[in-house]
Amino acid sequence: MGNYSRPWENKIVPARKRWVFPGASARAACLDTMFNPISGRMTSRTVVAGGKGTAKGFYESAALELTGPALETALLTLEEALPHLLLEQAKRHRLTLRYAGAWSDGATSYDIVTYATGPTRLVTLFIDAGTRLLTRVEKLGYAPGYGDMVGVIAFGDFHAVAGVLVPRARHEERLGRTEADLALDVRPASPQDLGLFAAYGEPPAADPLRGVEIREIAAGIHAVLLTEREVKSFVVERSDHLAVFETPFDAQAATAILAAAARVAPDKPVRYVGFSHEHRHTSGGVPAFLRAGATLIGTEETVAFAEDLMGLQHRGTPDGPPAAAAPRVASLLVTDRLDLPDEANPIVVYNVGRTNPTDPSSFAPDNFVRHDYLLFYFPRGGVLLNGCLSTFHQDEEPVASDRQEALLATLRDLGVTPNLLCSAMDTQDRFDVTPADLEAAVAKRLRLKPLTDELEAMGAGRLAAGADSLAAVCRERELGAEWFDGKAQRILLQDAARALAWSTLTTRTWPGSPLGWLRLSEAEEALGRTAAALDFARKAAVLDAKDEDLRERVSRLEKLIAPK
């Protein structure tokens, strides 16, 4: 999976009248430098207010629009750099941007603005009613296995530079603990700094099908590939209507999928919609389909989840206004199996979650228990949509996990023999496989499992030699010392063991791990000096002696642990 938001592709577009910073002249400009005392690093970018341009590069400029109501004054962030760079994200989530009224902490009065960036992410902005400056951002998110996660960014010590009010201080907290205190140094831009900006004209009309590919994978079954967000949806043609399965992310994705459905069959309405499970990349955009009149194919649990999304509650989605009570969702309920006959494309829906929960290690038993998981089978085309169950951790050759083994067992129990297993993840068709491919991947996993279990069982003790090196990498990545306190250290080391174990088979980042920001090559370098790692790699090479890539990895590990 890639970065869902792709901030480097978001460009400023002209406002209805003009863009300026708080208290700035129409053409003020500044160059700012952020200094992080923890890492000792400094990053610079140029910001222009009222100029005819936008920054080229990873950080994009944004400014306060003075022509709209209070909600239009929200200063939001792409990369959480400075308050005056904090507007673009809100404009991408305009459907959820809400003015929540005035509030006072007794000393200062604020205008409160909120918006949602995903089904479980809510951002609250505190805009000083007197200065119109954003002084505080609170982020509330829900993390499976952890519960509510609260983060705070506070800005202070504002001063004027080239007519622009900017802060000298930025304080960050997470779960009540200080994560960073940043000292910001801002100075006027030079003429060469302005050369970083390119002129823009009026933006073209948005094309909902930009970055969308439509591919017919079987008769009347179309994969809708959202290439920039690396997920898929599926539009299924039936006799007099369409059905859509997997509704990722948000209203923007839903708009693209609905446009694709109209392209596939302009004269057929979307009558049914369904999603396999409650993760954001499969369910977040479902409210747009329900508001368009579609009936949800789901269980009592997933229907309740969709009603939460429709109400834009804490687990809400960036789609539509908040509601005092969640609206009722028209639904077809699935208990264990639901048959939807049709002359063109009959559908069979199976609820397999109660007997084969997916990835249970990701969820705390008493915190976020997921029971229901739906498979959508099209017997005429032999296609099975399975959410993430056929999602592998690999670049080229499939490397299975428990979920693929469980999927095969489930299909045998159900007596289902599909020709193609399709995942909602990725847009390169790497995870759309035949049952034979899946069987081969599971067989390889079972051959290697004793060795991976052996390495993982070594735990923190056997990997202690690599801990210092891994800690150095984490410090360089600005994670902070708390990552190596107590349980967190053990988790990191265990996940590093898994990463190293699977690195003999894959070049991808170990999914769902605290090491997710590390490439496996870095995990190998951090841990590869242990004799255990080389011993494991040699054993794995014996099993797959003809695997050239594996031999190359063993050779790399040998070089890593060689005496310097």
CATH number for the region 212-433 comes to 3.60.15.10
Q: Report the alpha-carbon distance of residue 218 to residue 236 in Å, rounded.
A: 10
Domain 7-198, second-level architecture: Clam (2.50)
Structure tokens at 90: 């809100």
Q: Where are the domains of the chain?
A: 7-198, 212-433, 446-561
Q: Which of 62-66, 147-151, 195-199, 365-369 has the highest mean pLDDT?
A: 147-151
Closest CA to 216 of 228, 234, 230: 234
| Confidence category of residue 206, pLDDT binned at 50, 70, 90 | low
Q: Given pLDDT bands bounded at 50, 70 and 90, which one contains residue 222? A: very high
Res 448 pLDDT > 90: no
What pTM was computed for the model?
0.52
Percentage of residues in the chain having pLDDT higher than 90? 19
Q: What is the pLDDT of residues 319-339, one digit of tens each?
A: 444 444 556 789 999 999 999
128-167 residue pLDDT tens: 888 777 788 888 765 544 455 678 888 888 776 555 566 7
pLDDT, tens digit, for every residue of 521-555?
444 444 444 444 445 444 444 444 445 555 565 56
Two tokens at 442? 């599971």
> How many residues does this entry show for the chain?
564
What pLDDT, on the 0 to 100 scale, is given for residue 326? 56
Query: Mean pLDDT, the chain, as a whole number?
Result: 62
In this predicted model, which residue has the larger pLDDT, 518 or 62?
518
What is the residue-wise DSSP string for 494-561? HHHHHHHHHTTT--SPPTTSTTTTS-HHHHHHHHTTSHHHHHHHHHHHHHTTT-HHHHHHHHHHHHHH
Could you tell me if 413 and 452 are in contact, meaning their C-beta atoms sit under 8 angstroms apart?
no
At CA 126, angle to CA 165 and CA 103, rounded to 5? 125
Confidence at residue 15, expressed as pLDDT on a 0 to 100 scale: 25
Residue 174 exposed, middle or buried by CB count within 10 Å (0-12, 13-18, 19+): middle
CB of 532 closer than 8 Å to CB of 501:
no
Residue 22 has pLDDT above 90, yes or no: no
For the stretch 43-71, pLDDT in tens is: 333 333 333 323 222 222 222 222 233 22
Most confident segment among 41-55, 92-106, 508-522, 531-545: 92-106
